[in-house]
């Protein structure tokens, strides 16, 4: 029996949720068809993708590998459909796009170039702003979409998670911790840890402040910082250390080192957000193209 794209989509949703009830709800189906689809897929492949018990569902090693490649296949399919639709009907118009600066180190620029190549008649208008400002702009109809650090969003905002990113500790090159490859949050006790002003990024501020509580350390809020590049520049001048997104390690800032943090909670999501009521056909094509490339972010 041939494997269908529907089977792959069902499997990927289940691989993300690791719960038959939640996966079925997300797919708008009942659990029996979902279980039957997975069983047929495993029978066709000849090996198990999931381990099931009355307490939990988890991917087998084969399932982990299969999910990774299935995600790429469906992403390519979505991109192919978008390109074919563009060829069948010329897509034109303008899209106003917000983005946080660190997204430039997570393939945002390349993705925008690919969108421009696929849809040459679309005009992209870019606005650099933090997550809070993007949410405000979306609600005020000043943005069509936004590339953001995930946070609790208002009900009117639709979110598509593009990926998960670890937080790293950024220190000056001559800092005592600079020679370490990994640290624990408790190693930051007594350090001056620079952080965003809460008014600019309340979710990030609170997340990092909570993380630092484990080290009995209070974040230093003497600077009204609103951009990651400012944080790293200050660290490079020995004015403190900070916890920053992993993507910033790809930047070319001198005089800093990036160190892994052992705690699993030291991570955050990056997302594409929009308002469904705002969508034009042009914006729908853009969202479909970008979400089809999500595994590359």
- 65 CB neighbour count, 10 Å cutoff: 12
pLDDT per position as a tens digit, 12-61: 999 888 888 888 898 999 989 889 998 998 899 999 999 987 767 889 99
pLDDT per position as a tens digit, 276-297: 886 888 899 899 999 887 666 6
CA distance 297 to 256: 24
SS3 content of the chain, % helix, strand, coil (to 5): 45, 20, 30
Q: Residues 201, 296: contact at Cβ < 8 Å?
A: no
pLDDT of the residue at 201:
76
Q: pTM of the predicted model, to two decimals?
A: 0.63
pLDDT of the residue at 208:
83
pLDDT per position as a tens digit, 139-173: 999 999 999 988 888 999 999 999 888 889 999 99
CA distance 171 to 192: 11
pLDDT of the residue at 158:
94
User: What are the structural domains, with CATH classification, of the chain?
Assistant: 5-84 (1.10.10.10), 92-163+270-296 (3.40.190.10), 166-267 (3.40.190.10)
**In a 3-state reduction of DSSP, which class is residue 147?**
strand
pLDDT of the residue at 128:
93
C-alpha distances (whole Å) from 291 to each of 12, 23, 160 are 14, 19, 7
C-alpha distances (whole Å) from 131 to each of 170, 204, 226, 269 are 21, 10, 10, 12
- Reply yes or no on whether the pLDDT at 5 is more than 80: yes
Q: First CA to last CA across the chain, in angstroms?
A: 34
When pLDDT is averaged across residues 93-101 and rounded to a whole number, the result is: 91
- Reply yes or no on whether the pLDDT at 87 is more than 70: no
pLDDT of the residue at 77:
86
């Amino acid at each position: 029996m041939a494997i269908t794209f529907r089977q792959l989509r069902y499997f990927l949703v289940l691989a993300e949720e690791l719960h038959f009830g939640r996966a079925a709800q997300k797919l708008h189906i009942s659990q029996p068809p979902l279980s039957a689809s997975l069983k047929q897929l495993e029978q066709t492949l000849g090996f198990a993708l999931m381990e099931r018990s009355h307490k939990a569902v988890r991917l087998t090693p084969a399932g982990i590998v299969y999910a990774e490649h299935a995600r790429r296949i469906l992403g390519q399919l979505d991109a192919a459909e978008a390109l074919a639709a563009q060829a069948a009907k010329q897509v034109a118009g303008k899209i106003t796009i917000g983005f946080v600066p660190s997204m430039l180190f997570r393939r945002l620029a390349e993705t925008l170039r690919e969108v421009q190549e696929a849809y040459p008649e679309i005009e992209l208008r870019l606005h650099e702003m933090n997550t809070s400002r993007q949410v405000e702009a979306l609600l005020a109809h000043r943005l069509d979409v936004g590339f953001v650090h995930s946070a609790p969003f208002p009900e009117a905002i639709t979110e598509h998670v593009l990926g998960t990113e670890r937080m790293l500790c950024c220190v000056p090159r001559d800092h005592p911790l600079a020679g370490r490859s990994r640290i624990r949050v408790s190693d930051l006790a007594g350090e001056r840890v620079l952080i965003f002003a809460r008014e600019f990024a309340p979710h990030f501020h609170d997340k990092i402040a909570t993380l630092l509580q484990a080290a009995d350390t209070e974040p230093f809020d003497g600077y009204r910082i609103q951009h990651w590049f400012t944080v790293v520049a200050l660290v490079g001048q020995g004015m403190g250390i900070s916890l920053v997104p992993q993507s910033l390690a790809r930047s070319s800032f001198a005089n800093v080192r990036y160190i892994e943090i052992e705690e699993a909670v030291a991570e955050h999501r990056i997302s594409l957000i929009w308002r469904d009521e705002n969508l034009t056909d042009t914006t729908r094509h853009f969202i479909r193209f970008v979400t089809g490339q999500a595994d590359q972010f």
